[in-house]
Amino acid sequence: MNLTENKLYFSKDLESELHIADGVDAMIYDEQDVLKKITFGKGASLKYFGYFEKEEFFDKHFLINGIDSTCEVFALLSSTGEKIKAKMDGELAANGAFLDMNIVSFVSDGWIIDLDGIVNIVEGVEKVEWYLVEENIFLWKSGKVRGLPTLLVHSSDVKASHACNMERISDDKLFYLRSRGLPREDATVLMLESYISKIFWDLEEKHEDIYTDVKTRILERIKSK
């Protein structure tokens, strides 16, 4: 399936494999395991937003194979059951390709998140740039997460960085907010909203109705636990 318009697409309306045409500036919002692979034409650009909460295996492959094409990935994992598994695979296969992958996981009591973030730079490409950040936020005292950022670099003409962080909702920050009169639950929600906004910032700016719906569902499910 070819994407030929500069607009926001929804994965429920798309096929498992997509190609972004030359010069097209597209956005995709994804909550399902239908979309599997995205390829890029010359100068194509994509901002991909994913929100995954079901007990499924979400496997996404971004093949950035168009010269001077760019891909920005923003994904949030928040399991509502026992386990969520995801693989986010970015492959840079053209000169001037750019990839920025940002993944946040909310981990709560009894939840398990299994995440593979992969960046593969093929041999012979030049002037490629990529960034990979995985942030795992433990909401309470327990929960399990496995984050495995994998880097496969076969070119020397690369500008890159990567990080994998694990942290718990800070007691110091909660104390600061509560000292300003906020109840603990409201203070926690305020902090979570900052992470949600960080991932879906462009949706918040350009498609506020979608952002508000996603944020509300995320927070309601977390509160219900």
Q: Domain segments of the chain: what residues?
A: 2-169
Q: Please state the φ and ψ torsions of residue 9, each to the nearest 5 degrees.
A: -110, 150
What percent of the chain stands above pLDDT 90? 41
Question: Model's pTM, two decimal places?
Answer: 0.89
Q: What is the predicted pLDDT for the residue at 122?
A: 92
| End-to-end C-alpha distance for the chain, whole angstroms | 39
**How far apart are the C-alpha atoms of 70 and 46, rounded to whole Å?**
6
Q: Are 80 and 106 in contact (CB under 8 A)?
A: no
Average pLDDT for 132-149: 79
Q: How confident is the model at residue 194 (pLDDT cuts 50, 70, 90)?
A: confident
**Helix intervals (H) in the chain:** 171-179, 184-199, 201-206, 208-224
Q: What is the predicted pLDDT for the residue at 59?
A: 92
Helices 184-199 and 208-224, interaxial angle, to 10°?
140
Mean pLDDT over the full length of the chain: 86
Which has more confidence, 144 or 175?
Answer: 144
Q: What is the predicted pLDDT for the residue at 217?
A: 84
Q: Please state the φ and ψ torsions of residue 209, each to the nearest 5 degrees.
A: -65, -40
Average pLDDT for 114-127: 90
Q: What is the predicted pLDDT for the residue at 57?
A: 83
- What are 103-119's pLDDT values in tens digits? 998 887 667 888 888 89
